[in-house]
Amino acid sequence: MNDRLTRLRTALEKKGVDAVLLNSVTAIRYFSDFTSDDAIVLVTKKRNVLITDFRYTIQAKEQSGDRFEIVEASGSKVFEIVKQALAEENCLRTGFEDDVVSYARYEKYRGLETELVPMAEELHGLRIIKTPDEIEYLQKAQSIADRSFTELLKVIHPGMTERRVAAELEYIAATLGSEGPSFDTIVGSGPNGAMCHAVPGNRKLQNGDLVVLDYGCLYNGYHSDMTRTFAVGEVDDFAIGIYNIVRTAQAKALDALKPGITGKELDAIARDYIKEQGYGDCFGHSLGHGFGLLIHESPRASVTGDTVFEEGMTITVEPGIYIEGRLGVRIEDCCVVTKDGKLDLCSSTKELQHIN
């Protein structure tokens, strides 16, 4: 944690600012270990200050007290404390999270008598390379997800609604140690699978369906993300053919994932193969995204992704084909870029699974 604060101060110096204000749950947790959503963190050249109200002071002391001054305050008093601290160190320029600060919060920041400097990009950049501890947390989150998928296939059956499938999956994951779903679980059966982010509804799983299941688990605040598409009973040759195209596209991209490749180049490997098979118009989203304390982080694997992948970066690889009114197929693994290639955190089979 001290290393993170050191890197943060180096970023402040490089940006030419004297302090930074953090108010997103993600940034506060990353730099202080504090997990509440009600706090402001101020880091200056000399001080680390965490301001929260009475409800969370004990928690703050336990999680962050060895590195941060814990100050109890609420309402307008919070900004009085921040303003005084900035004045005491003559902080003329102060960074802030311009991607998450509301207009109302920004108006309050303007009263701090310091020049406000957007620093979202720099703060995201500090999190883009994952530490060994973070990779361990991500692997544990994904291991829970893999085990959950295996157990889910044992209990679901034709006639079960999409909503029930999602509920069963989240219950199983919780019993296996997940802190909660990484995001709203996606279950799209039959023609609903053509909606990339299908919301589970009352449609019942039917023989002949392909079912797209996209979900993730949390461990120590870190997100996993995977998608598997499975079959209900026997499916036709057309569905199997689409599944195999997506599976091959993903395999090609996974084989190419290594340091030095750009997000644009990785995306093109899967996208070009799907185009060659005649389904380019049916793959309309990006190939992948980073993940960590947030489910969507930098870098991106997309048609505009210009980040050069480095060791320690995370990326999902999730090509798909979606045919309106008929079916959808997506297969997704979450990976960490290593020195010589990639670590695929997912262990679930990609053989098309059939439930009966």
Position 129 pLDDT exceeds 70: yes
Of 97, 127, 157, which residue constitutes the final position of a domain? 127
Q: Verify that 182 and 241 share a domain, yes or no.
A: yes
**Domain count of the chain?**
2
Rounded to whole angstroms, the Cα distance separating 160 from 331 reads 22
Q: How high is the mean pLDDT of the chain?
A: 97
Identify the pLDDT of residue 1.
66
**pLDDT confidence of residue 281:** 98
Please say which residue of 127, 152, 185 terminates a domain. Answer: 127
Enter the pTM of the model.
0.95
25 contacts 34 by C-beta, under 8 angstroms: no
Flag whether pLDDT at 2 surpasses 80: no
CATH number, domain with residue 86: 3.40.350.10
150 φ, ψ (degrees, to nearest 5): -60, -45
Q: Tell me: do 284 and 144 sit in the same domain.
A: yes
Average pLDDT (308-334) is: 98
pLDDT of residue 37: 82
The domain in which residue 46 lies consists of: 2-127
- Integer Cα distance of 310 and 299 in angstroms: 10
For residue 8, pLDDT beyond 70: yes
User: What confidence tens digit (pLDDT) does each residue in 208-246 have?
Assistant: 999 999 999 999 999 999 999 999 999 999 999 999 999
Tell me which of 102, 127, 152 is where a domain ends: 127
160 and 200 share a domain? yes
Kindly report the number of other CB atoms within 10 A of residue 351's CB atom.
8
Q: How far is CA 161 from CA 46, 322, 353, in A?
A: 57, 21, 18
Q: How far apart are CA 9 and CA 43, in angstroms?
A: 8
Q: Give DSSP secondary structure letters for 307-350.
A: PBP-TT-EEEE--EEEETTTEEEE-BEEEEE-SSSEEE---S--
Q: What is the mean pLDDT of residues 323-342?
A: 98
> What do you get for the CA distance between the two ends of the chain, in Å?
49
Give the CATH number for residue 306. 3.90.230.10
Instruction: Please give the DSSP secondary-structure letter assigned to residue 203.
Output: P
Tally of residues, the chain = 356
Across residues 120-127, what is the average pLDDT? Answer: 96
